[in-house]
Amino acid sequence: MGPPRAGLMRNTTGESSPANRLDWFKYRHGTSERMSSPDDRTDLTQVQSYEFNVGFADASFPAITVDEPPPVGQGRGPNPVQTLAMAVGHCMSSTLVNTLERAHVRVTPIRTTVRATVGVNDKGRRRVRHLEVEIVTQPVEEADRSRFDHCVEIFADFCTVSGAVREGIPIDHRVNPG
């Protein structure tokens, strides 16, 4: 049998299995694909005033429209606070579904509500001050309760977007004349 290769560990039956989650995913599915691409690119093109078309690199779906609400914009799409809330809510929802599926706990479909609180910082600038995420699942079978509770306890730590928001992500920016 010999020692396990790097990145593998032996299970109780002596078989090799991956030592971390990404390797496990590759091992089980023969790919390194994840729920999000490692380097997603988003392109925004101004339509008029504050309205933009947003396209996503390598996406198989059409662009979406974002805008500011009246009186600044026309309200033809979600505003920046709504898109931030949507990104956090979607990522947390998807991560919870993924965690529950891995634990074989069936409580879908789920419903998620995100409430964003906007306030003013010390410099008088408007900022999203708080996001409250509420996820409602279907009832849990009593036999699944301990696995469900464990999933609820750990899932947020695996959420790419909410983790980045919590930790504060550096944002590099530049403006180039055409």
pLDDT at 6 over 60: no
Please, is 115 exposed, middle or buried when counting C-beta atoms within 10 Å of its C-beta (0-12, 13-18, 19+)? exposed
Domain boundaries, given as residue ranges, for the chain: 17-77, 79-168
Instruction: Name which of 37-41, 85-89, 154-158 the model is least confident about.
Output: 37-41
Measured at the CA of 151, the angle between CA 147 and CA 153, to 5 degrees, comes to 115
CA–CA distance, 79 with 66 (Å, rounded to integer): 6
Whether the pLDDT of residue 101 is over 60: the answer is yes
Homologous superfamily assigned to 79-168: K homology (KH) domain (3.30.300.20)
Handedness of CA 71, 72, 75, 76 (dihedral sign): positive
Would you state the pLDDT for residue 40? Answer: 85
Number of neighbouring beta carbons within 10 Å of residue 155:
22
Q: What is the mean pLDDT of the chain?
A: 86
pLDDT given for residue 24 in this prediction: 45
pLDDT tens, position by position, 127-141: 999 999 999 999 999
Torsion angle (degrees, nearest 10) of CA 132, 138, 143, 145: 10
For 10-69, the pLDDT digits (tens) are 444 444 445 555 544 444 444 444 566 667 899 999 999 999 999 999 899 999 999 999
**pLDDT (0 to 100) of residue 11:** 43
Mean pLDDT along residues 90-106: 97
> Which structure tokens are listed for 148?
């469900």
